[in-house]
Amino acid sequence: MNIGFIGLGNMGAPMAANLATAGHTVTGYDMATPAPEGVTMADDAASAARGADVVITMLPNGTILQSVAADIIPAMTPGAVLLDCSTVDVDSARAVAAMAADHGCKALDAPVSGGIGGASAGTLTFMVGGPDDALATAMPLFDVMGGRTVHCGPAGNGQAAKICNNMILGATMAVTCEAFALADKLGLDRQAMYDVVSTSSGQSWSLTTYCPAPGVGPQSPADNGYKPGFAAELMLKDLGLALQAAEAVDAPTPVGTEALHQYTVFVEQEDGRGKDFSALLPRLAGRGRD
């Protein structure tokens, strides 16, 4: 296919490179980053979108997404698919889908899970909202960029799935870090705690796949000085989106709200910015009960 790819940062660049390696013709645009291998760069976003079968966007937030969409959709071929892989608010995703429909195009919101490693390896999970025919067009691209694609329903439902997932992730990581810090103070060895909990009812992805304790469990950012695999500020963003959505539909989220508070303090008032979201553990291990 002819692919336009807008937003070639830490996630977008390896995704675009994988598509090019798979034989697709990829024209990219980014204001700040160099061309990934195999990608031809355009002078502007509309030029990258012009003539493409599918235009993929990977952008920081809903405001930027809507601005870029307003620029590129008029340049897109009628019937082409706008595939947004950003993590944004549900309302922005639905607004872009409506904008695309008004111009005779189709839209999918398809945020991802799997981080930079998954983007490079082509093992991302895509949570997709949008029509079946657009999904069928984009499925060969999902197969290159990811390991699993789940169709979650109509426009906006991909974003809904992503923010619900990451609210769980943020809360479970926060309490996993609390538990390791508590184990330290109780004199329980971290490896012993891991050996018990990883095979008991407290088991979670945050513990057994992404353990926040260095030297315990599989390799994770904790073993690399908490250099981000998933930055704390990105978790803060996603928790904020989840709570924004919860307020809009009057859904109670007391635990998610507390997780948002913990990451807000860590990122905005302490030294969490630029660290992995699992770096709550050394923060908690070094302090007493407030």
Whether residue 290 is predicted with pLDDT greater than 80 in this model: the reply is no
Verify that 64 and 136 share a domain, yes or no.
Answer: yes
Provide the pLDDT for residue 289.
79
The CATH number for 245's domain is: 1.10.1040.10
Give pLDDT tens digits for 80-117: 999 999 999 999 999 999 999 999 999 999 999 888 88
Verify that 107 and 190 share a domain, yes or no.
Answer: no
Range of the domain at 127: 2-153
What is the average pLDDT score of the chain?
96
Count CB neighbours of 148 within 10 A. Answer: 12
Verify that 192 and 170 share a domain, yes or no.
Answer: yes
Verify that 138 and 181 share a domain, yes or no.
Answer: no
Tell me, rounded to whole angstroms, the distance of Cα 167 from its chain centroid. Answer: 12
Cα separation, 7 vs 29, in Å, equals: 6
Provide the pLDDT for residue 114.
86
From 106, 129, 153, the end of a domain falls on: 153
Verify that 128 and 172 share a domain, yes or no.
Answer: no
Examine the residue annotation and report whether 106 is marked as an active-site residue of this protein. Answer: no
Average pLDDT on 28-56 reads: 94
Verify that 144 and 47 share a domain, yes or no.
Answer: yes
> Of these residues, 106, 162, 237, 275, which one is catalytic?
162
What is the amino acid identity at position 86?
S
Provide the pLDDT for residue 199.
97
Provide the pLDDT for residue 126.
97
Share of the chain above pLDDT 70, in %: 100
Verify that 168 and 119 share a domain, yes or no.
Answer: no
Tell me, rounded to whole angstroms, the distance of Cα 34 from its chain centroid. Answer: 22
Pick 238 or 115 by higher pLDDT: 238
Ordered DSSP codes for 227-284: --SSBHHHHHHHHHHHHHHHHHHT---HHHHHHHHHHHHHHHTSS-TTSBGGGHHHHH
Verify that 105 and 197 share a domain, yes or no.
Answer: no
Q: Per-residue confidence at 287, pLDDT binned at 50, 70, 90?
A: confident
Provide the pLDDT for residue 195.
98
From 132, 153, 174, the end of a domain falls on: 153
From 153, 178, 194, the end of a domain falls on: 153
Give pLDDT tens digits for 247-283: 999 999 999 999 999 999 999 999 999 999 999 999 9
Provide the pLDDT for residue 115.
84
Verify that 44 and 67 share a domain, yes or no.
Answer: yes
Verify that 181 and 228 share a domain, yes or no.
Answer: yes
How many structural domains does the chain have? 2
Verify that 22 and 128 share a domain, yes or no.
Answer: yes
Average pLDDT on 198-211 reads: 96
Give pLDDT tens digits for 135-180: 999 999 999 999 999 999 999 999 999 999 999 999 999 999 999 9
Tell me, rounded to whole angstroms, the distance of Cα 263 from its chain centroid. Answer: 17
Provide the pLDDT for residue 50.
97
Using the 8-state DSSP alphabet, how is residue 28 labeled? E
The CATH number for 81's domain is: 3.40.50.720
Give pLDDT tens digits for 5-29: 999 999 999 999 999 999 999 999 9
Verify that 79 and 175 share a domain, yes or no.
Answer: no
| Burial profile 109-125: b = 16 or more Cβ within 10 angstroms, e = fewer | bbbbbbbbebbbebebb
